[in-house]
Structure 1
Amino acid sequence: MSSIPEDEEKAPGQAVPAPSLSSLLTTPPFLGNGTPGRVLTFEVPKGPMVRRRPGICGEPYARAKAEFDAKPWYVRWTAGTDRPVGVEPTDELMRAREFQRECEKWPEEVPQSLIDDKRQRLSDHLTGKAPLSPEESLRVRRDLDFVSDVYTPGPRYSAPLTPQEQGWLDERNLRWGNTMGIAFLGPVYGGPGALTRLLGGSEQAVAGVNQLSGSLVGIARTRTFARLAAERRAASGEALARSREMNRGAPLEPLDPAAAARGTVVQRKYAPLDWEAVVPKKGPYKGEKREDHVRRHNQDVPGKDSHGVFYKDGVDTTNRAWQRAQDLGLKPDATGMLRVPMDEIVGRAGGNAAATGELFRSVEMKLVPGTNQIITSYPVK
């Protein structure tokens, strides 16, 4: 049967024009069973929508402001004295304000497919199905965290950084540290490092030249440029590897429901640590809970022998290390000792070794042999 009306049929041999898009949409063709129906609609289904909770954009700033207002008056009075007028007095408040401004630019609701697409892209990257460059994958992680925090807040699993992503961060932040070192040394002593970079030298070579130049002007006892870069790397790695509430500032991709994929990310199930089983019945730690014991490593004890000091809460870091051990297939030895290499700096040397400025990237924990019952935990090399 012809799809062209009889009064428009052409003479034999004359070309028949292709039906227009409007005719396809307004004149339903016949299906195979002889009943009329639409085969092609050119319509993209919108799919389910997710709506952001009222006031969620301002919640991070309200929390940061409450924490700042709870500080002693002299801390609040001196905070931000080195910042321009009109700028928030702390980095936390600045990031929270930036998140609020970016969040308010987004619509009240977006398609669930927007989040599903980013999850699928990250899943395909991590499984090797569709690998991304380190810069692209870190951008997907950051954007996924942002839209999830705005529209679907709550706890969620975040995959650790890959070696390629960590290497890209290391290189970028080493370059940042070198640039700061060149600026700090000035045109005379910073010149050799700048010339090394200009001539195509690696950032490691630039760092070495900066170290030598620094020793010539008597700053060898200050924090080295390698440590500056390490601290910057730790902050960047932690912000990208963990779920977060702050926007990192780069523009996000436009909404495109038609390009969204319908994929899922495999959620791991972890066996948590048992923090309640071990309670000493005698000795100096009699009756002490394990959480309280591990949190002793949150503060430095200057008169103590060399020991590890957590940068963040020791209990939270230990739980994350236990999850990472399961990801990597690591198990305690016969004595219950387990050392877990982390993808970030988790602590530093304390006690008599604090002056070395040594940074630790692993967590060592002791458990009751053959169980998940934690005894103690602390950061190590």
Structure 2
Amino acid sequence: MHRIDSIDYLRGILALCVMIYHFMSWSIGTPDSSTTLGRLGVYAVSTFYIISGISLYIAYFDLKLSNQKLLDYLIKRILRIAPLYWIATLLTGFYLYLATPNFVIDWGKYISNLTLAFGFYSPKNYIPVGGWSIGNEMVFYALFPLLVILAKRKILYLCASLVLGLMYFYISSYSLVTTQTLAQQWGTYINPFNQAFLFSIGVGIGIIRKSHTPANNLYPLIALVGACIAFAYWPVDGNQINIVTGLNRAVFTLICGIACWSVLSLDKKPQKYIAKTLKLMGDISYSTYLLHGAAVFYTSKYALPLFFSAPSPHEKLQFFCIITLPITIILSYFVHKLVEIPFINFGKRLTTRSKQNLFSQGRPRSDELLRK
């Protein structure tokens, strides 16, 4: 898969924002929707979906609906997502076993997580922190081949996106209500049909990028600065339900789409050491996102009491930032090196071998030609 550095940088920054948002939520309290962090806590994940659509389209824009091509695609996607998700699930499950008296395993729930099937029929059945979004991703991976085929005829892709958009805005305008909090309506919010339009936006941005590249950085830079300002200062406050419903849903969706297009279009690398740091955060972003919850659980149970007997909310936040954050980054780095990369490479070897086998079946071997 062709890597796009700027998109990886953005993914890493957003994963860090999600982690800090959770640190704040689990200590001082959930940030209000008037704050930038409170907005990032919701729309960082939304932006992940857009980034996913961009990355997949650029990597698989020529995907064909043949058995071998689809099998190769699915093998690579599963081996990219599943191993780390298994680790996060088992770490969370083991913590629950240690922390919960008379713990009983819900085998159906754990099987649905280990097979990554829960997103298709019970999105709120996830186990690790943030696991719901991975369930959604699996649904989008299943949808993606159809979107790629439709993208060959732009009008068909636009019609499909329109359908997804109508479902997206129907849920945000009618299924979700501002008289209840986002937490109270969480099961509705995390439904894949309330997120799939974001993925299709990413595919659309990928289509635009394949056919048109900005001549310079001026317009993308202006768009990015404007999107950041609008994201931070768009007038809305109160519970986060207010930023995922009605007009605000449309505004923040547009802002995230513009930001992703801008970052994708910028053709300028930061200074060497900044680029290295951003690349590292991008490389470990998936591990950071999925493992920081487990890191908080274990450090809170076993390390926090060593520093504070009865920590205040601010002391707990300080602990998370000073102790849990670096532990998460270090853990994520080693998991990325020892788990993610080997399984990614394994997927490449499997799909390469299957292509070679298919090729050898289609042509006679050299020794057969010599015998003839």
TM-score bracket, shorter-length normalisation: under 0.3
Q: Which has the larger radius of gyration?
A: 1
In proportion to residue count, which structure has more strand? 1
- Structure with more relative contact order (C-alpha pairs < 8 Å, separation 6 or more): 2
Higher helix share: 2
